[in-house]
Amino acid sequence: MRKPIAQRIKELEERKRALQSRLGKQERAQETRRKIVLGSFVLERLAQDDNGNTGGHCDLRQWLAAQLPVFLVSDADRALFADLLCALPRSPMRGESGEVGQDETGKGKGGQCQDVLP
């Protein structure tokens, strides 16, 4: 005997929810993998710069010097990237003493390299 239509619809809806959940998990895993691979690529290019093989990557280092301090908003994130932040060249976003970011007046916020760690 066949199942009633209402029961079949309910089972199909449950299956749809399960498949959507699996798809969401798969998409999150792919996004995480993309971030890891891209981060590895950037760190590799920066390491090549440190070994004297600039190959035009100076623009990457300058861009990171300007953008990374602004992007890292939490103390935990700044601590995670402290070694990289301190190794970056000074930029308009990083003052001569190593301060990171700017306040509303355009002056540095403080946060010297040794102060990056919480």
Q: How confident is the model at residue 86 (pLDDT cuts 50, 70, 90)?
A: confident
**Whether residue 79 has pLDDT greater than 60:** yes
Q: What does the pLDDT read at residue 94?
A: 46
User: Which ranges constitute the DSSP H helices of the chain?
Assistant: 5-50, 58-71, 75-80, 82-87
* CA–CA dist 103, 68 (Å, integer): 16
* CA–CA dist 15, 71 (Å, integer): 40
Grouping H, G, I as helix, E, B as strand and the rest as coil, residue 108 is: strand
Q: How confident is the model at residue 41 (pLDDT cuts 50, 70, 90)?
A: very high
**Whether residue 117 has pLDDT greater than 60:** no
